[in-house]
Structure 1
Amino acid sequence: MMNVKNNFAKILWEQLKDDLDVQEIEGLIEKPKHTDFGDLAFPCFSLAAKRKMAPQKIAEQISKNINSSLFEKIEVVGPYVNVFLNKSQVFTTIISEILSKKESYGSNNIGKGEVVTIDMSSPNIAKPFSMGHLRSTVIGNAIALIHAKCGFKPIKINHLGDWGTQFGKLIAAYKHWGVEEKVKQKTIQELLALYVKFHEEAENNKQLEVEGREWFKQLEDGHEEATSLWSWFREESLKEFNRIYEMLNIQFDSTAGEAFYNDKMESVVELLENKELLTESDSAKVVLLEDEQLPPCLIKKSDGATLYATRDLAAALYRQQTYQFAKSLYVVGNEQTLHFKQLKAVLQKLEYDWASNLHHIGFGMMLKDGKKMSTRKGEVVFLEDVLRESISLAQDNIEKKNPTLENKSQVAHMVGVGAIVFHDLKNYRMNDIDFSLEDITRFEGETGPYVQYTNARACSILRKANRETIQTPTLFTLRHDSEWELVMLLLEFPTVIQHALQKYDPSLVAKFIVDLAQAFNKYYGEVKILSDDEQKEERIALVAATSTVLTEGLRLLGMKAPIQM
């Protein structure tokens, strides 16, 4: 890969090796705000104290000693050494690389084949797959794809919420008000209605909460009726979940949920006891974490029932034994930050070195009218309904703009689902998102459909040029500023991927492909790409390279790139 920033840093290092190493120099290199000031700039402020010279004098001294074909011009502007890249050389190298590597452009081997487990999605059974579950699902999937691009082996785990006191409450609600036929006809909707009714009734009848806890204890003890109802709820829920995952084109390597760890939790309790880490508090068993400035981690309640933390400890131990992971990621909302701090702290107290490789990848909430969606109050928006509406809107849009398009329903699915996925991933994951179907399904502006349409436009140009294979010119000659803008963005793609990996931030990829799409549309508007002249092959090669990167950028977000729209 032609990393011009790194090359510039190495050239500077020949003069600055007594003051800075290559990485420090590269970290200081900037991209000027205005192209008039060059393509890259090195500020000399940090050298002033060491060399006891004015930064401008240092800049002048450095510039005189740079001799490289990588630059066509070098200027000193105040304390900055500004360099203008050799456009033909960079253009030729980068386009040739993309056309030869195709979708592998930007790939690297940072991971060296190491395993990364990714705990993601993880909806609760017997509840609808709501918009609230979208974030963990699509963020986790994009992070997995980015890790694979960087040489890791991601293991996607759907840690289903199929255990806990809520199932005792649901069984109690079913025993009070459930009708078998109604549940069979509309399983999830009816179970949600029962769950909501339980909490409404429990506000005035505290005995219901007691019943819910008792039913869960019976479930833990293997009570036949409780187990039978729980199995039925789980089976019907998975049918609905799998339908939605198929719409999103997301697969998992494991669907071992919380219940999978029921027979593994007692050994966790014994392990903690043997290490003398368990303390009794109000008849419950806890691990004290005062030295970590954290509240105690509750392991067993006073009635002997295990907890979320107990199951997650068992899960962490099982995953390390099974996968020998280099990293274990938990793509779970910000509200669980304390839980994962406690989980990590307990494992470190157990003296597991690998505990330091557990990372909570938090994210903000999906809000409705500025408020958190609540299943127990019935304030949910079903993800499947939103996906279907978005697909329908895409279908309508295609019918208006391109009624003769082949595979209209397939393209509408790609675009409709892509709109939902992109709307989430273009936002920095730590920020809350206010749900608005109108905003999510917009097809203009900085949206997924806009990027998809731009790529389809590039594919249309290639079809008109009748180019199944693209010839790579031996030397490119730039004629337009918009060409150089495109090339500079294409050059950045591998770096964007690495930053997205390091920060666990798919929004960097989403924002990049929006910028690339905008730059391409500007180029398309200014230049007659298919004009028969001596630069035609160069322009076609640039279009092909742009389409390759747009397609791969969309793939890393879990989206498809239709070639016609």
Structure 2
Amino acid sequence: MATTCSVTEIENLLGKAGLDTPMPEFPGTNIVTNPQDIFRAYLADTLQKLVHCDRLVAYEAIQQSNVTGQGDLVIVSPRLRLKNINPKDLVSDLAHKLPRVPPFACPIADGIHLRVLSSPNTLSRLLLPYIHDRCASYGYDSSLGLADAAAPDGPKKKVIVEFSSPNMASEFSVSHLRSTLVGSYVANIHASMGWDVVKMNYLGDWGKQIGLLAAGWQRFGSEEEFAKQPLRHLLEVNHKIEELFKPEHDEVKAAKAEGKDASEMEARGLHAERDIFFKKMEDKDPEAIALWQQFRDATVKDYTSSYARLGVTFDEYSGESQFSAESVAEVEQALKEKGVYEEHDGSWMIDFSKHGAKGLSTAVARYRNGTTSYLLRDLAAALDRYKAHKFDKMIYVVADQEMHLHRVTKCLELMGRQDLAERIQHVVVAKINELPDQFKDATLLSDYLDGCHTVMQTSIDEDTEEPLFVDKTDKSVDLLGLSSLFIQDFTHKRTTPYAVDSKKMTSLVSESGAAIQNCYARLTSKLSEAPANFDYAALDYASLEVEDHAELLRIMAQYPDIAQASFKTLEPSLIIIYLLRLVDQVMVTLDGDDEQVWTDKDEANKARLALYENARQVFENGLRVLGVSPYSS
């Protein structure tokens, strides 16, 4: 059977559809990964011949339409840069002159825009085998991950994506939750575009706070309770010791605010106990390390289970504890050699205001008792990661860390490691402002996941009118609830704060994960009687020229453009907006076909089933890149 996996094969198919071949070429087009580039190239070639402008100008005057029913491609007339011609008059003139031959249908004049529809017959003949040939890779361009674009069989570019990164024995906050959701997407979209991805969870498992936890364990720890619920018990211990520590902490803070020397205060009580234990950790004291390792192992084990339920995996559970002494020494030596490292009252620090970064203030790198700071450990970690992975890019997906990450990159620059500083990217995620009652007492990741299950079950029990195409097993309810968590987050831009609305999140009729999964389930149920394989050369494509089917085809053709735009901006909301358009059109088309007799013996129905099978594939690709598992019965 003929395929569409090469330029030659695509041109053979286009020739059979009545188009001139070889097809016109333009810089930046990739017809093997994006079918819209085929139509763009033909339209730009025709446009250039009609108005006699530069070929590249003609190509760049064309943009994708995001309005259902308002064309596939849009010619923006001012972009043609034609002098002494009214843009609206130009559109009117082009509307009459544009040939009504494949691959285009009748254009629509719309002010300064000319909206151009692709011919449904041409589009269906090209698109269905095109998607079928690519399956899970449809929409993605693996060449974007090549270290050398001229060497398709060569090595890939590598990216480290650090996300989630909770602190040991501390609450899993909504900021950690959003970092987990967005970070999973960032890793997935890079992998889809051909990058070698290392997913890293950088645990807050080192520092003075662990010394304080150890002091709490001596007072409140229970091996029996720890064996039952390790993370919850550590959290309880931590809360209790922090309550005891608060008066001391407030006293020291007040003294420093008044300009007093607080060193004597810090040399007694819980301050001293905390610092002594942390110093033992840094000195590799066997007992201190054994207790720390017990806490860390339990933390990783518990979180791994919760992440798996969410569908998130990590390649490395790194952490502040994983830095090497060699890299710490390398950082400090470089800072000293560059004249950046300053000693003050026994501590070593960096005054960024002296080095062109006043907004970064002053930061301690090593405390007076010789222990390392968060900043010093992160700098050492950056060196360690580059030595281990030789990454091309390292992305931090975190909230509330802008100052810290600016300090990291500035320090690398001051150390003479501009090469590393330029590889670091901070993907900002805004806060979740408000949680519904079902989530307000959540302290662990598992609590949020249980809350999703509860609100989803309530929604299903209360909504008895909306047809449900998924079963009501605990597994399916869990999937719908977790899908709703992802989708509600991604309906907002990642830099936009929002409040979680449990009713909207789990509604079967709104823009929710539950509604999307319900549509996907309905679509797959229609395919239960589809043949195992379709003969794409023999399908009745003329039967797909009905407007609902044609519009569904047009939306399906747009996915590669959407995926690439999402990759460039690292904005998952673009894919959600697209999927919601796809859902709406799938539902409209299914409603129109419901009275049909579904049998693979009827040629028209075979074509419709092939359309739905490929729509299902596009649907699945969009869900998976977001980190959402499609429903399966």
- Pick the TM interval, shorter chain: 0.7 to 0.9
Q: Which residue identity lines up with residue 194 of structure 2 in the other structure?
A: G
Q: Which residue identity lines up with residue 113 of structure 2 in the other structure?
A: Y
Q: Which residue of 2 aligns with 1:388?
A: 450
**CA offset at residue 327 of structure 1?**
1.3
| 1: CA distance, partners of 2:417 / 2:503 | 51
Deviations 1:517-549 (A, max 9, x none): 121111111234546765222211111111111
Judge which range, 226-235 or 107-116, deviates more.
Answer: 226-235
Deviations 1:37-82 (A, max 9, x none): 644332323456x613322344455556644632222354543333
Q: Which residue identity lines up with residue 269 of structure 1 in the other structure?
A: E
Q: Which residue of 1 aligns with 2:229?
A: 186
- The partner residue of 2:78 within 45, 55, 58 is 45
State yes or no: 1:557 paired with 2:557: no
| 1: CA distance, partners of 2:363 / 2:43 | 51
Could you say what secondary structure the match of 1:73 adopts?
coil
Give the 5 Å matches for 1:109-188. Answer: 109=142, 110-112=144-146, 113-188=156-231
- The partner residue of 1:274 within 337, 345, 358 is 337
Q: Which residue of 2 aligns with 1:415?
A: 480
Q: Which residue of 1 aligns with 2:241?
A: 198
| 2: CA distance, partners of 1:129 / 1:483 | 46
Could you say what secondary structure the match of 1:255 adopts?
strand
Question: Do the aligned partners of residues 65 and 443 (structure 1) sit closer, same or farther apart at CA in structure 2, a change above 3 Å counting?
Answer: closer
**CA offset at residue 155 of structure 1?**
0.8
| 2: CA distance, partners of 1:56 / 1:21 | 18
Judge which range, 533-542 or 500-509, deviates more.
Answer: 533-542
**Could you list the runs of 5+ residues in structure 1 that have no partner in the other structure?**
none
Instruction: Please tell me whether the aligned partners of residues 304 and 313 of structure 2 are also in contact (alpha carbons under 8 angstroms).
Output: no
Question: Do the aligned partners of residues 79 and 549 (structure 1) sit closer, same or farther apart at CA in structure 2, a change above 3 Å counting?
Answer: closer
Could you say what secondary structure the match of 2:115 adopts?
strand
Question: Do the aligned partners of residues 466 and 369 (structure 1) sit closer, same or farther apart at CA in structure 2, a change above 3 Å counting?
Answer: closer
Q: Which residue of 1 aligns with 2:18?
A: none
- The partner residue of 2:568 within 496, 499, 502 is 502
**CA offset at residue 304 of structure 1?**
2.8
- The partner residue of 2:278 within 199, 212, 216 is 216
Question: Do the aligned partners of residues 231 and 5 (structure 1) sit closer, same or farther apart at CA in structure 2, a change above 3 Å counting?
Answer: same
Deviations 1:346-386 (A, max 9, x none): 22232432421210011012344599x9xxxx964433133
**CA offset at residue 132 of structure 1?**
4.1
Question: Do the aligned partners of residues 519 and 231 (structure 1) sit closer, same or farther apart at CA in structure 2, a change above 3 Å counting?
Answer: same
Instruction: Please tell me whether the aligned partners of residues 202 and 319 of structure 2 are also in contact (alpha carbons under 8 angstroms).
Output: yes
| 2: CA distance, partners of 1:46 / 1:526 | 39
**CA offset at residue 423 of structure 1?**
2.8
Question: Do the aligned partners of residues 119 and 452 (structure 1) sit closer, same or farther apart at CA in structure 2, a change above 3 Å counting?
Answer: same
**CA offset at residue 394 of structure 1?**
5.6
Q: Which residue of 1 aligns with 2:413?
A: 348
Give the 5 Å matches for 1:154-553. Answer: 154-206=197-249, 207-263=269-325, 264-281=327-344, 283-286=347-350, 288=352, 290-295=355-360, 296-333=362-399, 335-349=400-414, 350-368=416-434, 380-391=442-453, 397=460, 408-435=473-500, 437-463=502-528, 465-472=529-536, 473=539, 475-528=541-594, 529-530=596-597, 535-553=604-622
Question: Do the aligned partners of residues 440 and 208 (structure 1) sit closer, same or farther apart at CA in structure 2, a change above 3 Å counting?
Answer: farther
Q: Which residue identity lines up with residue 504 of structure 1 in the other structure?
A: L
Question: Do the aligned partners of residues 7 and 426 (structure 1) sit closer, same or farther apart at CA in structure 2, a change above 3 Å counting?
Answer: farther
Instruction: Please tell me whether the aligned partners of residues 330 and 360 of structure 1 are also in contact (alpha carbons under 8 angstroms).
Output: yes
| 1: CA distance, partners of 2:530 / 2:71 | 37
Q: Which residue identity lines up with residue 357 of structure 1 in the other structure?
A: R
| 2: CA distance, partners of 1:198 / 1:170 | 7
Instruction: Please tell me whether the aligned partners of residues 2 and 94 of structure 1 are also in contact (alpha carbons under 8 angstroms).
Output: yes
| 2: CA distance, partners of 1:466 / 1:22 | 43
Could you say what secondary structure the match of 2:159 adopts?
strand
Alignment length, in residue pairs?
A: 553
Instruction: Please tell me whether the aligned partners of residues 285 and 302 of structure 1 are also in contact (alpha carbons under 8 angstroms).
Output: no
Give the 5 Å matches for 1:30-69. Answer: 31=65, 35=69, 38-47=71-80, 51-60=83-92, 62=94, 66-67=98-99, 69=102
Q: Which residue identity lines up with residue 324 of structure 1 in the other structure?
A: K
Instruction: Please tell me whether the aligned partners of residues 47 and 55 of structure 1 are also in contact (alpha carbons under 8 angstroms).
Output: no
Q: Which residue of 1 aligns with 2:47?
A: 12
| 2: CA distance, partners of 1:53 / 1:477 | 42
Judge which range, 274-283 or 191-200, deviates more.
Answer: 274-283
Question: Do the aligned partners of residues 192 and 251 (structure 1) sit closer, same or farther apart at CA in structure 2, a change above 3 Å counting?
Answer: same
Could you say what secondary structure the match of 1:151 adopts?
coil
Judge which range, 425-434 or 524-533, deviates more.
Answer: 524-533
| 1: CA distance, partners of 2:380 / 2:110 | 60
Q: Which residue identity lines up with residue 53 of structure 1 in the other structure?
A: I
**CA offset at residue 490 of structure 1?**
0.4
Q: TM-score, normalised by structure 2?
A: 0.79
Q: Which residue of 2 aligns with 1:87?
A: 120
Root mean square deviation of aligned Cα: 3.3
Q: Which residue identity lines up with residue 611 of structure 2 in the other structure?
A: L
Q: Which residue of 1 aligns with 2:138?
A: 105
**Could you list the runs of 5+ residues in structure 2 that have no partner in the other structure?**
1-33, 147-155, 250-268
Question: Do the aligned partners of residues 174 and 111 (structure 1) sit closer, same or farther apart at CA in structure 2, a change above 3 Å counting?
Answer: same
Deviations 1:83-104 (A, max 9, x none): 2322211122112211232222
| 2: CA distance, partners of 1:52 / 1:475 | 44
Question: Do the aligned partners of residues 117 and 519 (structure 1) sit closer, same or farther apart at CA in structure 2, a change above 3 Å counting?
Answer: same
Question: Do the aligned partners of residues 325 and 450 (structure 1) sit closer, same or farther apart at CA in structure 2, a change above 3 Å counting?
Answer: same
Deviations 1:285-339 (A, max 9, x none): 2153542454244322333322222122112222222222221111111x11121
Question: Do the aligned partners of residues 553 and 520 (structure 1) sit closer, same or farther apart at CA in structure 2, a change above 3 Å counting?
Answer: same
**CA offset at residue 388 of structure 1?**
3.1
Question: Do the aligned partners of residues 320 and 287 (structure 1) sit closer, same or farther apart at CA in structure 2, a change above 3 Å counting?
Answer: farther
**CA offset at residue 225 of structure 1?**
3.6
Instruction: Please tell me whether the aligned partners of residues 365 and 432 of structure 1 are also in contact (alpha carbons under 8 angstroms).
Output: yes
Q: Which residue identity lines up with residue 252 of structure 1 in the other structure?
A: F
Instruction: Please tell me whether the aligned partners of residues 128 and 188 of structure 1 are also in contact (alpha carbons under 8 angstroms).
Output: no
| 2: CA distance, partners of 1:250 / 1:199 | 31
Percentage identity across paired residues of the two chains: 25
